[in-house]
């Protein structure tokens, strides 16, 4: 046997000594090779050629390639490969550390190699996003990127040595759906070869949160605008309702006192036009008003008619045909007419928005019906309808399909809340032929409430001493003439100061006072009576078109006194005055 210098180095001692000492040398293989390794090693002598590596007892690794000679001997080529094993072990430990870090990372991590690129590693979050990807699947990366040109530009920046962090783009999930992503890229060596590491954050929730914040910010902005609009409307309503009161009142008196049918018919037309103006103003003000429910018997058909009148011009200019199918003799509801008008306005405006961009003919159908103690209102259109994917969300607060700035997403949510407060339901029904149908179902007025209303209407009126306080002479004259026709003794005062002077001279059963007046206003008059005549202070009725202002709302809430909103209707004025007088007398 013979051995060259490299064999001596590999064995760790001269070959002759290794052979001579034999078993006396003890084990020469590392224990990790296994107790049966010498036997397995000896078995290789029967093969023509063998190439194997093993670890010696001192920890070094050797590679032995051996082949059989024609004379039966064997040639062994031995090399010390300890350094390579150390490098491989260090690389394996490094990759294990990397995998441990990557698997615990809060973002998706992928590694790509070669051109065309293939994904050679994906952590658990990446597998959730993209699904399992085989390392030899060269079509995976093109499937995951919505914009391959953007990927190429990104990689080019990395190759130029640029630091790429926070790059926003669009990727695709395993099912092909796109999602917004934030990407950072680094160059590294992986598995001994150059590679690119991608750290990917799914921005879906962040973008949804940003959109939600934008919607809520817009809703807040709309609420601020609505509050400002309410303040403006308070002044406008006060100025508009005063002359409307005079027109409505005197037109009604003229109609009732007309000596011939022609005059009566003309007065009736004036009454109808003035009533229409009053309904439009009241319905519009209801949108900006925040007040507790004021329930009474409500004629739904009348509320719908007023709503359609208010929106008539914009429906007409949008080339929308309104088809009415209002059931005659519809039972009344026990509810807040202003709040119900707000619901109907919202549903009609939504239908108009859906129809505006669609083809003609554009039809809006409004129908009412009654069955089994329930009143049903249906507002339907032949527009595109509501996609099935979002039907479950249309009543959610701040949910809207409109662009930011075009809607708050509160209309349907608030409307459903109003209907629920009336013990009713608001639902969406898809139409078989296309379009949307919103159905409102409300309980009809309780029989007791209707009986109470009829009883109050049938009560006989008793004359009383009434003081009218208003800075508008025409309004004072109208109210005085209306109540005088019922036999009441009426006195007039142009201000709170004048009223206080009259109150000191004679007693009154009831005071009808405007709120906003120069000199001494209605609030000052009320507070004077609280100090000097508390019982009479509780028999004040405020006349105002300014219920939206903060000061008026605060006074009405504090005092608990009744309010008659301008413009005043003669019949409503008579009924309210009679009811208050009966309540004060204990009737």
Tens of pLDDT, residue by residue over 96-105, are: 777 767 776 7
pLDDT on residue 233: 65
448 pLDDT more than 50: no
Structure tokens at 489: 């003794």
Query: Cα–Cα distance between 53 and 78 in angstroms, integer?
Result: 9
Q: What is the pLDDT of residue 323?
A: 93
Of the candidates 26, 393, 475, the residue with the CA atom closest to the CA atom of residue 215: 393
Task: Give the pLDDT confidence score for residue 246 in this predicted structure.
Answer: 85
Mean pLDDT of the 156-160 span: 89
Whether the pLDDT of residue 449 is over 60: the answer is no
Arithmetic mean of pLDDT, 474-488: 88
pLDDT at 493: 92
What is the rounded average pLDDT of the residues 495-522? Answer: 89
Most confident of 5-14, 48-57, 550-559: 550-559
Strand partners, 181: 169, 202
pLDDT above 80 for 513: yes
Identify the pLDDT of residue 404. Answer: 47
Question: If you average pLDDT over each of 245-254, 272-281, 367-376, which comes out highest?
Answer: 367-376
Of 58-62, 156-160, 184-188, 300-304, the least confident: 58-62
pLDDT category of residue 465 using cuts at 50, 70 and 90: very high
Least confident of 99-103, 479-483, 528-532: 99-103
Residue from 481, 425, 493, 489 nearest 463 by CA? 489
- Position 459 pLDDT exceeds 50: no
pLDDT > 70 fraction of the chain, expressed in percent and rounded: 78
* pLDDT recorded at residue 231: 65
- Model confidence at 549: pLDDT above 70: no
Q: Which range has highest mean pLDDT (196-200, 236-240, 403-407)? A: 196-200
Of these ranges, 141-155, 208-222, 477-491, the one predicted with the greatest mean pLDDT is 477-491
Q: Which of 12-26, 153-167, 287-301, 561-575 has the lowest mean pLDDT?
A: 12-26
What is the pLDDT at residue 497? 92
Taking alpha carbons only, the member of 511, 568, 524 closest to residue 544 is: 568
Looking at per-residue pLDDT, the higher value among 168 and 114 belongs to 168
Per-residue pLDDT, 491: 93
SS3 of 83, please?
helix
Exposure of 318 in the CB half-sphere (CA atoms within 13 A): 23
> What pLDDT score does 301 carry?
93
Predicted pLDDT of residue 460: 42
The pLDDT, as a whole number, for residue 2 is 47
Average of per-residue pLDDT across 378-392? 82
Q: How confident is residue 75, by pLDDT bands cut at 50, 70 and 90? A: confident
Domains of the chain: 5-80 (no CATH), 87-202 (3.30.450.20), 291-455 (3.30.565.10), 456-585 (3.40.50.2300)
DSSP 8-class letter at 568 = P
pLDDT of residue 66: 76
Average confidence score pLDDT of the chain: 79
In the predicted model, is pLDDT for residue 570 greater than 50? yes
pLDDT category at 200 given cuts 50, 70, 90 is: very high
Least confident of 119-128, 189-198, 396-405: 396-405
Please give the average per-residue pLDDT across 137-146, as a whole number: 77
Look at residue 378 in the predicted model and tell me its pLDDT: 95
- With vertex at residue 149, the alpha carbon angle to CA 158 and CA 198, rounded to the nearest 5 degrees, is 40
What's the CA angle centered on 364, arms 362 and 369, to 5 degrees? 155
The owner of tokens 């990366």 is: 141
C-alpha distances in angstroms, 286 versus 352, 356, 390, 547? Answer: 20, 25, 29, 11
Q: How far apart are CA 129 and CA 419, in angstroms?
A: 43
- Give the tens place of pLDDT for each residue, 535-547: 899 989 998 876 6
pTM above 0.85, yes or no: no
153 or 24: which leads in pLDDT: 153
The secondary element (H helix, E strand) that includes residue 129 is helix 124-130
When pLDDT is cut at 50, 70 and 90, the band that residue 367 belongs to is very high
Instruction: Tell me the pLDDT band of 287, cut-offs 50, 70 and 90.
Output: low
Q: CA 144 to CA 139: how far, in whole Å?
A: 9
On the question of pLDDT at 558 being above 70, the answer is yes
pLDDT value of residue 223: 67
Task: List the strands of the sheet with 74-80, edge to edge.
Answer: 49-55, 61-68, 74-80
210-268 confidence digits (pLDDT tens): 888 887 887 777 667 666 766 676 667 667 777 888 888 888 888 888 888 888 888 88
Lowest mean pLDDT among 46-50, 498-502, 567-571: 46-50
């Amino acid at each position: 046997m013979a051995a060259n210098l490299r064999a001596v180095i590999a064995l760790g001692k001269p070959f002759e000594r290794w052979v001579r000492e034999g078993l006396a040398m003890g084990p020469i293989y590392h224990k990790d090779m296994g107790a049966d390794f010498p036997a397995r090693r000896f078995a290789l002598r029967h093969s023509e050629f063998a190439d194997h590596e093993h670890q010696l007892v001192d920890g070094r690794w050797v590679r032995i390639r051996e082949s059989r000679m024609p004379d039966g001997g064997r040639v062994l080529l031995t090399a010390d490969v300890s350094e390579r094993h150390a490098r491989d072990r260090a690389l394996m430990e490094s990759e294990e550390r990397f995998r441990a870090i990557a698997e615990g990372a809060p973002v998706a991590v992928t590694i790509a190699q070669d051109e065309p690129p293939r994904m050679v590693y994906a952590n658990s979050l990446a597998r959730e996003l993209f699904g399992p990807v085989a390392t030899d699947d060269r079509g995976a990366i093109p499937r995951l990127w919505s914009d391959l040109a953007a990927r190429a530009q990104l990689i080019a920046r990395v190759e130029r040595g640029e630091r790429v962090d926070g790059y926003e783009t669009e990727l695709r999930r395993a099912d092909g759906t796109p999602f917004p992503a934030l990407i950072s890229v680094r160059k590294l060596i992986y598995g001994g070869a150059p590679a690119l590491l991608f750290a990917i954050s799914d921005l879906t929730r962040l973008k949804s949160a940003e959109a939600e914040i934008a919607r809520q910010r817009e809703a807040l902005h709309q609420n601020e605008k609505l509050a400002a609009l309410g303040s403006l409307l308070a002044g406008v309503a006060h100025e508009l309702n005063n002359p409307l009161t005079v027109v409505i009142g005197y037109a009604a008196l003229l109609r009732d006192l007309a000596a011939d049918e022609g005059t009566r018919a003309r007065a009736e037309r004036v009454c109808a036009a003035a009533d229409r103006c009053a309904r439009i103003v009241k319905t519009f003000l209801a949108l900006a008003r925040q007040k507790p429910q004021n329930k009474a018997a409500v004629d739904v058909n009348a509320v719908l008619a007023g709503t359609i009148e208010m929106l008539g011009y914009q429906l007409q200019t949008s080339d929308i045909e309104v088809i009415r199918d209002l059931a005659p003799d519809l039972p009344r509801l026990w509810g807040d007419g202003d709040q119900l008008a707000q619901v109907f306005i919202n549903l009609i405006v939504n239908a108009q928005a859906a129809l505006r961009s669609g083809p003609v003919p554009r039809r809006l159908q409004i129908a009412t019906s009654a069955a089994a103690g329930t009143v049903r209102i249906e507002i339907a259109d032949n527009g595109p309808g509501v996609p099935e994917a979002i039907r479950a969300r249309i009543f959610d607060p701040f949910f809207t399909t409109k662009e930011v700035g075009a809607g708050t997403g509160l209309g349907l949510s608030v409307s459903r809340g109003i209907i629920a407060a009336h013990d009713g339901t608001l639902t969406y029904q898809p139409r078989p032929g296309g379009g949307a149908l919103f159905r409102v179902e409300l309980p009809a007025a309780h029989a007791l409430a209707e009986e109470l209303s009829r009883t109050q209407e049938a009560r006989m009126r008793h004359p009383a001493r009434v003081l009218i306080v208003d800075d508008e002479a025409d309004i004072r004259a109208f109210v005085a003439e209306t109540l005088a026709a019922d036999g009441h003794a009426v006195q007039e005062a142009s201000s709170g100061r004048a009223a206080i002077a009259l109150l000191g001279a004679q007693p009154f059963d009831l005071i009808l006072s405007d709120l906003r007046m120069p000199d001494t206003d209605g609030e000052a008059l009320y507070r004077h009576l609280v100090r000097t005549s508390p019982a009479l202070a509780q028999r004040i009725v405020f006349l105002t078109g300014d219920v939206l202002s903060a000061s008026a709302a605060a006074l009405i809430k504090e005092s608990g006194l009744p309010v008659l909103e301008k413009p005043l209707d003669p019949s409503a004025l008579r009924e309210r005055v009679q009811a208050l007088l009966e309540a004060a007398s204990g009737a």
